[in-house]
Amino acid sequence: MSIRRVVVGFSGGVTSAWCAGWALRNFPREEVILLFCDTKEEDPDTYRFLHEMAKALDMPITERSDGRSVTEVARDEGAMPNDQMAFCSRILKQEPANRFLCELQEQGVTEVIRIMGFSGEEPVRMQRHTALCWQQTSFFCNVSVRFPVAEEGVTKQECWDWCSCTMGVQPPEMYSWSDHANCPGCVRGGKNYWMAVKEHRPAVFEQRKAFEAEMGFTIINGCSLAQLEVEGVKRVVGRKEAISIGPCSCGE
């Protein structure tokens, strides 16, 4: 007997929330799982969004977390994660998700469709996750991946509008200054991003600055946050994928 599960990466962003809605429109509700892997350093408003969206979708959140924060993982590994080596993402998100696939297999699930909220503008991430699923298929049950945002050609703004207007859930406050709703103080950010962290999440900036001093490593290659604070950025770079957070296009 074949048993299928549709596992949506429910990360706290507007695209992953839209994907949850897409999955519920395209697959039987009882097959859909909203999987959240907590990094313990998400923005407080992102947790609010996750819970309100799950309630609006009338779905439970299935949480599988490592239990440690980004900072704790870095301490345990004795290294500072950064853009070239974001092991926090592997340890706190990918590995708990993989363990969850094992759990499903142990429960008799024979097919898993993973749903990711990547857009068509992220071909490298899409390729990497497709390859990861091929790899997973050799260990677990039959695993495939779908990227509905890219498949349907919806924009991040449309995902935003869907959350806000259709579902009545205000998207995370993180979007007012960042392109994504991942951990504030994400180790993948560059200089401009960190200047924005300093402005919008000063406590996070100070924590990461002190953490660099404690670890003896920098997050940005060749420039500590203390140095950046003094020097600033030479040129303010525009966002790659700007998102309007003005009034909703439905006019609500």
Distance CA 252, CA 238 (A): 28
Beta strands per DSSP E along 28-182:
32-36, 61-63, 111-115, 142-146
> Which residues in the 5-64 window bind ligand SF4 by CB under 6 A?
39
Query: Using the rule CB under 6 A, is 220 a contact of ligand SF4?
Result: no
* Residue 25 burial (10 A CB sphere; 0-12, 13-18, 19+): exposed
Which spans in 37-118 are helix H? 44-57, 70-77, 87-89, 95-106
Query: Using the rule CB under 6 A, is 204 a contact of ligand SF4?
Result: no
Instruction: Report the residue from 92, 145, 150, 220 that binds ligand SF4 according to the rule CB under 6 A.
Output: 92
Distance CA 40, CA 187 (A): 14
Instruction: Report the residue from 15, 71, 182, 218 that binds ligand SF4 according to the rule CB under 6 A.
Output: 182
# residues contacting ligand SF4 (CB under 6 A): 12
Residue closer to ligand SF4, measured from CB, 169 or 186 = 186
Q: At its nearest, how many Å lie between ligand SF4 and the CB of residue 216?
A: 19
Residue closer to ligand SF4, measured from CB, 65 or 137 = 65
Q: Which of 133, 139, 125 is nearest to 15 (CA)?
A: 125
Instruction: Report the residue from 59, 187, 219, 220 that binds ligand SF4 according to the rule CB under 6 A.
Output: 187
Q: At its nearest, how many Å lie between ligand SF4 and the CB of residue 93?
A: 6
Query: Using the rule CB under 6 A, is 116 a contact of ligand SF4?
Result: no
Instruction: Report the residue from 4, 40, 64, 188 that binds ligand SF4 according to the rule CB under 6 A.
Output: 188
Query: What SS3 class is residue 229?
Result: helix
Q: At its nearest, how many Å lie between ligand SF4 and the CB of residue 182?
A: 3
Query: Using the rule CB under 6 A, is 89 a contact of ligand SF4?
Result: yes
Nearest-5° Cα angle at 141, 151 to 105: 115
**Residue 93 near residue 39, CB atoms below 8 Å:** yes
Query: Using the rule CB under 6 A, is 219 a contact of ligand SF4?
Result: no
**Residue 190 near residue 220, CB atoms below 8 Å:** yes
Residues lying near ligand SF4 in the complex (CB under 6 A) are found at 39, 70, 81, 86, 88-89, 92, 182-183, 186-188
